[in-house]
Structure 1
Amino acid sequence: MRSLKDAQLGAFTFFASALPHDVCGSNGLPLTPNSIKILGRFQILKTITHPRLCQYVDISRGKHERLIVVAEHYENCLSIFQKPENAPSAEKVLQIAYEVLEGLEFMNKNGLVHRALGPNNVLMDCKGNVKLAKFGLYHMTDHGADVDFPIGYPSYLAPEVIAQGSFHPSDPSRDEAPLPSGPKSDVWSLGILLFELCAGRRLLQNIDISERLKFILTLGCMDDIVTVLAEEHGCLDTIKVNLMPTPAELLQDPVFNSISCHYTPFQKPVSLFSSSLRCAHLVLPDDISDLCKDNDEDYLSERAIDEVYHLWCLAGGDLEKELTNQEIIQSKPPISTLPNFVLEDGETFGQGRDRSFLLDDTTVTLSLCQLRNRLKDVAREAYYPLLEDEQSSLPQSNSSNELSAAVTLPLIIRERDTEYQLIRIILFDRLLKAYPYKKTLVWKEARVDIPPLVRGLAWAGLLGIEGDIQAKYEGIDKDTPIPTDRQIEVDIPRCHQYDELLSSPQGHIKFRRVLKAWVVSHPDLVYWQGQSFSYTRWWSSLAYACMSAFIPKYLYNFFLKDNSHVIQEYLTVFSQMIAFHDPELSNHLNEIGFIPDLYAIPWFLTMFTHVFPLHKIFHLWDTLLLGNSSFPFCIGVAILQQLRDRLLANGFNECILLFSDLPEIDIERCVRESISLFCWTPKSATYRQHAQPPKVAGDNGFAKTSTYYSSDYQDMPKTDLSREPLSLVDLKAEVSPRISAEDLIDLCELSLSGSSKRNKTGKPKIVAVDIRTAEDFNRGHISGSINIPFNTTFGPENEVVQCPAAGGLQSYRGRVIVVISHNMKSAAMFAAHLVKMSFPRVCNLDGGINKLKPTGLLTVPSPQI
């Protein structure tokens, strides 16, 4: 997206054709509104960038099928040359012709035809260069089929276009739609425009257009129409349409030899994820200080057009209000919208045809005054932030201090704060442009928050996407039918269809191709119903790349044809996490038989996108992508804890009903609590043998950092102190999770470094409970551990004979309790009893005391004298 510079933001509006309310499609569902179809087709237009085309920015959908389009805009157009004093020179006409053809050629390469060329849609920037406007109207309306007005101006339409007449799908007199216009139709329109520039007047300005069209549309053959137009323009020779050149052919005409040498061929900007160098053509001035001499520089105009529009909306911009102020949108009292009725004598009463549903191509300039006033106190240094640590030594401006205060505000407020979003967007823009070199800083800033405008690219950065993803995606066969096609076809229309983009036909097509590309490129995996919920807003090559990185990290082997062992291990670990963090809730759910198998499979299979609406998923995934593969467990526990009171007060049937229509969840609280739960969970407690194997050096995948928050236990080098895999039967038999000897040594401060692992109260976060006999305990134990022999707690038949809390364990409630024994069955039984007594954060030492004997870290008490 190019910068705003001297351009303006313009908006125009039109109505899509309304569909009958009582008609359904072949699938029995209501027909997709035409406005939704247009919105879906519009998305590709935002990606088309060329110096001769006005950049499309956004489209919004209002009431009664109204659509408002926002695009780059300029006040001047070809109409300025119609005045005698502004008559263009021959060189200027040649320049205009060449630049229009440049824009048309680029459109044709992208499968587009303008079809609405006219003097008002050929704009001129401050340097007098051509900018074609409204070039996407023909495409987004499905060649005019989704609107009630013709695309194009009659005075400039090509003869073959007029011959086709108007078409609407609901018209019973037309069996099939005419063929779409081709590139040559724009050449005719350009010819009329150039002729007018040379003649200095509008060719048809004195002719009654309605009468002319009425006559032309009654003619039955192309030759007659061409003859009529040829006579009107003083040319009696019949024009051969098929011999008319295309824009690409015209650009090679010798007439342009004198000016073509002054134009540099357009090079498409290199995308963030590409094999090409993004700065290969960067040219800097000899003196870098020349870039900063102008103290009155308009820094906002240097930002991308979509950024400026996003900030304009945050600063109170309202499209409908702007159009209403210019009387483009006019409200009518209900009495004035009554239909016509006719009396017996033929007298007609009521309203004529409502022309508001026809096209008014007026473009309203959006004022940026309110936005500029809002940002007037932002220091100019904020537009060029430093990315290294030395920025902390710089003097702080008022805006910087305000930014620091804004970080403490709720996320939803920060996302609506204009100044805060400006600074965050600029910072992320610079970091992402330096990706992957600045990958670590992307992670650091994403832990604060991610600006909604750059969320897609930021997520891709967090997933470690690199390389030429477009070439890889295009190399996958997405067209050959496969057995999964039917399931994908059925599943997609059920995926967040309240979202306008996802419910559009183009959204369905893009979504289907991404899912199919993943299925085809992963022959060892299969598509499972509901999988589409996980990938709602990423499109095409980037969507495929993100999906290919996301699934191995969080859903490794979830989509095997037989995934029962993977799912069961995952749910068992989740059940242990519930017992670890909330034993009272775990006890209740187990007593009523409400196990995770009944509610949690859709959570993890879709990473909660089946549970929450999109606006909540965005905030949840902002944090999820920062965590490792075990972080979803903590999110699941955080959800249960928000429903804790209702779950504890209800039985099995009520819990089933509760989860069939999940109550409102405070997502910011969920994220905050899941982070706290994660920090209290030892890394090895969530170990799964079916998780993603460790990546080899140089593997292009999930970004590694040295932080405890993001590192994955599975990726750590395995030693004799690492946790050993358990069979599913043995794993299910244990209520509490196991932790590795490495974690115990680290958390008990037994490392040689002597690093402190204390919480905010100053007390250690962990207590080791050795349940061996007193004799074994005295032969060697962990420093600081307490001894509660198993045989003093349980009898010969494993019945409880004494409460462990009586041994002073009650004072350690709230810390991580690690049960140590030489017998894992005894340790599991002891831990299960502590959970039954509602002791939180109980776990077992994997391998028992035998894992620690070779370390030399066991303490032998000194003999008493």
Structure 2
Amino acid sequence: MALGKAQFGVSTFFAASHSNDKCGANGLPLTPNSIKIVGRFQHLKTLDHHHICKYLDCVRGRHERLMIVQEHYTNNLNLGWKTGKFQSEDNLVKLAFEVLQGLYYMNQHEVTHRNLSMDNILLDTEGKVKLSNFGMYYMTNGGAYVSFPVGQMCYMCPEVICSGPVQIDEETELPVLPPSGPKVDVWSLGCIALELISGMKLWEGVSNQQIARNVLVFLKPDCDVINSICTELKCVEKLQSLSPYLNDFIRKCLTVDPTHRPDPSELVHHEMFTVHKLKQVSPRNGYHLFTSKLRCKDLELPELTENDVELDNDHLSERNMEEVYYLWRLAGGDLEGVLKKAGMIKAKPPVTILPSLTLDNGEVLGQGRDQMELLDETVVLLSQDQLRQRLSDIDEKSYYKLLEDESTITEGLPSSPSNVDLNDTASLPLVIKEKDVEYQFHRVILYERLINGYPYKKAHIWKEARVDVPPLFRNLVWAALLEVEGDIQAQYDSIDKETPIGTDRQIAVDIPRCHQYHELLASPTAHAKFKRVLKAWVVSHPEYVYWQGLDSLCAPFLALNFNNEALAYACIKAFIPKYLHKFFLKDNSPVIQEYLAVFSHLIAFHEPELSNHMEGIGFIPDLYAIPWFLTMFAHVFPLNKIVHLWDTLLLGNSSFPLYIGVAILKQFHDRLLSFGFNECILLFSDMPVIDLQQCVKDAIQIFCNTPKSATYRQHAKQTPKKNETRPNVSYYSRDYNEKPSNELSMEPLTLDELRSEKCPRISAEDLLELGEFIGNANTRSPTKKRGNGKPLLLVIDVRGPDEFKRGMIPGSVNIPFQSAFSPEGDLVTCPAVTTLKQSKSLVKVVVGSRGRNASNFANELVRLDYTRVCTLHNGIDVLRHTGILSVPPPEI
């Protein structure tokens, strides 16, 4: 929903603390109640209705403090009732109708207010009802996670008072009695209606204990509740003067027996509202991004009124409320600072707990209960002045970006009329860009338009994601990069996630250990979501089994899509076939071993010195790299780094994780060379601090310097030949794992063949593309070279001189394998070897006839620390029908 005239308000309270030595049924320390509240709060962020205030954020502070940010208005019913405006029956009926609509919407989403009062019924600038603070009862699990009662005693119905304080089951940590239902709010509404009619407050100045006694009197069979309350409010005559419809409405609200008391879904259809010709408002206009329905079907164009003219120059008010709050935080918004300034957070003395002593006369000496542990419903407004000042120089056209003009899509970035040059900002480190409010403003506006146009703007999303991904839209951008489409919610709902299966026990063991430093994922709510998403994937993929690591793969998607399990499931469903095809087979050893063998080849290709050292001490990839690739690094890096890594990973092909692995080793190159086996094991037992942005840059560079076919794997998901479904995407998003189409293509190799060779093989197709004969080989078109005019590769022919003279690759050098090395293992000096030594930066393709000579020669080059060494798959014979081979000129 748009910001409009709304403001942001923050309130704070403390969650109940556990004893330090208390553990749960599983023997682990109890989850702090504040984390449980954060987990349950996320559901409240999804609620959006015309008559409720939108929840925006729940921030966990120190000592179990929680800070709640919500849409807020300064006017409320408590301020307006004294004017007598709502003593008018028409106004009162309209107010009750709007309150009921808000309650009914909440009840549909399993939320009960239980805190309804005049203070929590806000009125917006148009006088419409906005229910506030309605999530306290839900987020605290019926009051189980706080040490204060939720709700005001004067508005509590008899059954709530009879139930007494919340009692917790120590084993399950859940309330013993079921939580209050929607009917408790109907009672509160009836009390508020009588207060408005009378112009007086119910039981004002009476203690809570006495209020409880007064309410419990209503349980007597002969008690007339309406008459008792009206007598207290001195409004018996006023009640009699009301219309029979309103009178009946109030009596139904104040029905003592909850089984006969209607709930909001029934009361909202009361005939009183029909008589006054009131109609329910429909849910907010909008659409779901992933659906099979027409997304534009229920959209309506806004109708401008005279009041809207004032908003013409306030373009920020037209933006989504979540976007504005996100920018407010970037602009220096500090919740704790605001609360401290308002006196809501006070520093305590160093000694906060003193012993209490009760004297014979009953006097208590020592520290009493900290009043800050009780609920203070004071709301502090969050000033938007600083944000508006930061955005004041932005051109108004930037608020309404048009996508039809290709110049708005990033080639660099659009120029800014402010003092900050966005093109300069785009080149800064990612952590800096994500904190720059103006840069994020432009990116958020652009991505919001692109995401709304998905899948039609798919190509543009790919292009922009190569620059960066704003955190606010990361979940949807990832889904777009994974090409998630269709009615994902219906697909997810159709999967049985409740019936017990064999992997339930292992899932239950893994979840409490998966990224539990993350406040959201540590909550019981997250654990339940984790289990459902993981079971959905296991059940819907019977050909696979649950392997440890699947939970780590799920964690980033669940953290980003916490309120959309279906999207989290759809993303992981698309992610695994692309990057982890067949990894979750019951017997996945051949798949993983092939993956590790190709990884070893890449290490030798780019870091031969490191490869020789690690092989010499026995530190093979099997000992450290399996958790990397099985979880796509989600097990070894924290989530705040994983999201940045996956921003690039999702743009790459199925082999791109291999290049990330090489980039990690490159970053520890010097340390690894100086370490022995034990030191290497210790280094990777707990992943050390790594410069992730440099790692990503290195991975891209390594990819661009590697022939595509060097990472061919037979167990990877094969794609149709030359299937370019995403126009204008980067080269490193293309995949070579294609079905062989001719003898020039790469073919599957056995695991023994892969292990016997230190270097990768490349296909004849790659040789033709990278060499001096790109295009139609028979025409021998001009050579393909780097931008500086230098060639891309050097072909080394290791056949004997006689064979070499009968047919050679143009530009290749001949170093016969039989006479290439001295007894000491060094290359024998000759013109061809001199050329080899001068070509350190080129890809060196070793070519020979069928046999082991080419691979053995390549292995020796790796031993001598030559970089970028590979062999031609199937040898030189595969080129005989291409017309490329030629006879070398006679020696003079």
TM range (shorter): over 0.9
Cα deviations by residue, 1:647-669 (Å, 9 ceiling, x for unpaired) = 11111122112211222111111
SS in 1 for 2:556: coil
The 8 Å contact of residues 738 and 845 in structure 1, kept in 2 or not, is answered as yes
Q: CA deviation at 1:204?
A: 2.3
CA distance in 2 between counterparts of 1:839 and 1:831 reads 9
Tell me if 1:736 matches 2:736.
no
Q: CA deviation at 1:134?
A: 1.3
CA distance in 2 between counterparts of 1:82 and 1:221 reads 26
CA distance in 2 between counterparts of 1:489 and 1:372 reads 48
Q: CA RMSD in A?
A: 3.0
Moved more, 396-405 or 290-299: 290-299
Q: CA deviation at 1:339?
A: 4.5
Q: 1:744 to 1:695 in 2, by over 3 A?
A: closer
Consecutive unaligned residues in structure 1, runs of 5 or more: none
CA distance in 2 between counterparts of 1:357 and 1:293 reads 46
**Residue in 2 aligned with 1:231?**
228
Q: CA deviation at 1:489?
A: 0.4
SS in 2 for 1:818: strand
CA distance in 1 between counterparts of 2:613 and 2:277 reads 79
Q: CA deviation at 1:314?
A: 1.1
1:789 equivalent among 799, 806, 816: 816
The 8 Å contact of residues 80 and 86 in structure 1, kept in 2 or not, is answered as no
Moved more, 738-747 or 275-284: 275-284
Tell me if 1:125 matches 2:127.
no
Q: 1:521 to 1:119 in 2, by over 3 A?
A: same
Tell me if 1:61 matches 2:88.
no
Cα deviations by residue, 1:795-817 (Å, 9 ceiling, x for unpaired) = 9x998773687443100112111
Q: CA deviation at 1:855?
A: 1.4
TM-score, normalising length: structure 1: 0.93
Q: CA deviation at 1:284?
A: 5.0
SS in 2 for 1:589: helix
Moved more, 505-514 or 647-656: 647-656
The 8 Å contact of residues 462 and 651 in structure 2, kept in 1 or not, is answered as yes
Moved more, 194-203 or 503-512: 194-203
CA distance in 1 between counterparts of 2:213 and 2:222 reads 10
Q: CA deviation at 1:313?
A: 1.1
Q: CA deviation at 1:132?
A: 1.0
The 8 Å contact of residues 315 and 371 in structure 1, kept in 2 or not, is answered as yes
The one-letter code sitting in structure 1 at the alignment partner of 2:748 is P
The 8 Å contact of residues 41 and 139 in structure 2, kept in 1 or not, is answered as yes
Output aligned runs, 1:739-754, within 5 Å.
Answer: 739-752=762-775
CA distance in 2 between counterparts of 1:22 and 1:466 reads 49
2:272 equivalent among 238, 255, 258: 255
**Residue in 1 aligned with 2:803?**
776
The one-letter code sitting in structure 2 at the alignment partner of 1:255 is M
**Residue in 1 aligned with 2:471?**
452
SS in 1 for 2:130: strand
SS in 1 for 2:378: coil
Output aligned runs, 1:666-705, within 5 Å.
Answer: 666-694=691-719
Q: 1:260 to 1:507 in 2, by over 3 A?
A: farther
SS in 1 for 2:555: coil
Q: 1:177 to 1:455 in 2, by over 3 A?
A: same
Q: 1:112 to 1:756 in 2, by over 3 A?
A: farther
**Residue in 2 aligned with 1:307?**
323
CA distance in 1 between counterparts of 2:515 and 2:731 reads 34
**Residue in 1 aligned with 2:574?**
549
1:481 equivalent among 500, 514, 533: 500
**Residue in 2 aligned with 1:245?**
262
**Residue in 2 aligned with 1:409?**
428
The 8 Å contact of residues 159 and 226 in structure 1, kept in 2 or not, is answered as no
1:274 equivalent among 280, 291, 301: 291
Q: CA deviation at 1:254?
A: 1.5
Cα deviations by residue, 1:566-621 (Å, 9 ceiling, x for unpaired) = 01000000000000010000000111111000110011011111111111111111
CA distance in 2 between counterparts of 1:853 and 1:824 reads 17
Output aligned runs, 1:91-106, within 5 Å.
Answer: 91-106=90-105
SS in 2 for 1:768: strand
Q: CA deviation at 1:400?
A: 8.8
Q: 1:411 to 1:137 in 2, by over 3 A?
A: same
Q: 1:814 to 1:55 in 2, by over 3 A?
A: same
SS in 1 for 2:717: coil
Tell me if 1:524 matches 2:551.
no
The 8 Å contact of residues 514 and 544 in structure 1, kept in 2 or not, is answered as yes
The 8 Å contact of residues 112 and 182 in structure 2, kept in 1 or not, is answered as yes
The one-letter code sitting in structure 2 at the alignment partner of 1:750 is F
The 8 Å contact of residues 446 and 622 in structure 1, kept in 2 or not, is answered as yes
CA distance in 2 between counterparts of 1:260 and 1:483 reads 57
The 8 Å contact of residues 285 and 300 in structure 2, kept in 1 or not, is answered as no
SS in 1 for 2:57: strand
Tell me if 1:635 matches 2:632.
no
SS in 2 for 1:120: coil
CA distance in 1 between counterparts of 2:812 and 2:310 reads 68
**Residue in 1 aligned with 2:511?**
492
Q: CA deviation at 1:623?
A: 0.6
**Residue in 1 aligned with 2:374?**
358
Q: 1:629 to 1:857 in 2, by over 3 A?
A: same
**Residue in 1 aligned with 2:210?**
212
Tell me if 1:722 matches 2:745.
yes
2:858 equivalent among 804, 811, 831: 831
SS in 2 for 1:364: strand
Q: CA deviation at 1:345?
A: 5.8
CA distance in 1 between counterparts of 2:261 and 2:209 reads 28
The 8 Å contact of residues 415 and 421 in structure 2, kept in 1 or not, is answered as no
CA distance in 2 between counterparts of 1:345 and 1:773 reads 111
**Residue in 2 aligned with 1:297?**
313
Q: CA deviation at 1:361?
A: 0.7
Q: 1:837 to 1:224 in 2, by over 3 A?
A: farther
Cα deviations by residue, 1:771-829 (Å, 9 ceiling, x for unpaired) = 2223332333222222222232159x998773687443100112111111112411100
CA distance in 1 between counterparts of 2:611 and 2:6 reads 61
TM-score, normalising length: structure 2: 0.91
Tell me if 1:586 matches 2:607.
no
The one-letter code sitting in structure 2 at the alignment partner of 1:764 is P
The 8 Å contact of residues 153 and 212 in structure 2, kept in 1 or not, is answered as no
Q: CA deviation at 1:711?
A: 0.9
Aligned residues: 856
CA distance in 2 between counterparts of 1:736 and 1:335 reads 67
Cα deviations by residue, 1:312-359 (Å, 9 ceiling, x for unpaired) = 111111111111211222223245753533346654333332211110
The 8 Å contact of residues 299 and 380 in structure 1, kept in 2 or not, is answered as yes
SS in 2 for 1:512: helix
Q: 1:221 to 1:85 in 2, by over 3 A?
A: closer
Q: CA deviation at 1:269?
A: 3.3
Q: 1:645 to 1:225 in 2, by over 3 A?
A: farther
Q: 1:364 to 1:404 in 2, by over 3 A?
A: same
Q: CA deviation at 1:285?
A: 8.3
**Residue in 2 aligned with 1:572?**
597
CA distance in 1 between counterparts of 2:341 and 2:414 reads 44
Output aligned runs, 1:378-527, within 5 Å.
Answer: 378-387=394-403, 388-391=405-408, 396-399=415-418, 402-527=421-546
CA distance in 2 between counterparts of 1:566 and 1:502 reads 31
2:553 equivalent among 534, 538, 549: 534
The 8 Å contact of residues 691 and 714 in structure 1, kept in 2 or not, is answered as yes
The 8 Å contact of residues 514 and 551 in structure 2, kept in 1 or not, is answered as yes
Tell me if 1:601 matches 2:596.
no
Q: CA deviation at 1:215?
A: 3.5
SS in 1 for 2:733: coil
Q: Percent identity?
A: 51
**Residue in 1 aligned with 2:245?**
none
**Residue in 2 aligned with 1:662?**
687
